[in-house]
Amino acid sequence: MKHPIITAMMPFAALLSAEEDERLKREISSFLSRAIRNAPWFVQAAALILTPLLWVFLLPSIIIAKGEASAFHVKCRKTVLFLSIWGGPFASLIQLYQYLCALYYYEHPIILQRYGLEPPALRQERYRKIREKMILENP
């Protein structure tokens, strides 16, 4: 029942084992901290003030779910959806967290592998070679 904020932003991770899920959420958590540190001061201020409040809103989900992972997930997501409907800075912060979590999650090698997609570094290299060959043939 760790990382309720990240859980609330993510799809239910049927693709992952419990350990993989935990590891990914840890990594997303550290990515979120890094990204917020690089954000403008007003975003940092909003995150500093509103994140603990978001945590408080998500607290009942932990209690209601009683240790059941999928119930916890559903509760967290519903809470976030409810909060984001009202607009304002709270919704903007949720939007930012949703965006960052999805970005990191779907670029993670484990997830790319589950979707059968080529690792981006290999893709880059493949296209470099294609163009090099093209330039050699048509300088």
Partner 1 sequence: MNNVSYQIENNVRLSCDVLVIGSGAGGASAAKVLVDHGFDVLMVEEGPYVPAGQGPSELHESFATQWRNAGITAALGKPTVAYAEGRCVGGGTEINSAIIQQTPESLLEDWARKYKIRDFGPQQLQPYYDDVKRIVNSSLTPPPLGRASELLREAGEKMGWRVTEVERGQRGCVGANMCTHGCPSRGRQSMLNTILPEALGKGMRLISDCRVSRLVVEGGRVTRAVAKAKDGQGKHHTVIIWPKQVFVCAGAIYTPHLLRRSGIKKNVGNTLKMHPTVKVMGVFPEKVDAHLSRFPLYAVTEFMPNMRMGGSLISLSLAGIYCGEDWSTRGWMMDKLENIASYYSMVRSDGSGYVRPVMNFAEPLVTYRLTKRDWHWLTLGSSKLAQALFAAGATHVYPSIQSHSGWHDQASCTEFLDRGLPQSKTRLMSVHLFSSCPMGEDDTWSATDSFGNVHGVANLTLADASQIPEAPGTNPQGTIMALALRNARAYCEKREIAA
Show the tokens assigned to 11: 């799809």
Q: Does 103 interact with partner 1 (rule: CB under 8 A)?
A: yes
Q: How far is CA 93 from CA 37, 48, 83, 90, in A?
A: 14, 10, 10, 5
What CA–CA distance (Å, rounded) separates 9 from 54?
12
| Contact (CB, 8 A) for 2 and 25 | yes
Instruction: By CB under 8 A, name the one of 33, 48, 63, 107 that touches partner 1.
Output: 107
Q: Does 117 interact with partner 1 (rule: CB under 8 A)?
A: yes
Q: Does 127 interact with partner 1 (rule: CB under 8 A)?
A: yes
Where on the chain is the footprint of partner 1 (CB under 8 A)?
Answer: 9-11, 31, 34-36, 38-43, 77, 81, 84-88, 91-92, 95-96, 98-99, 101-107, 111-112, 115, 117, 119-121, 123-125, 127-128, 130-131, 134-135, 138
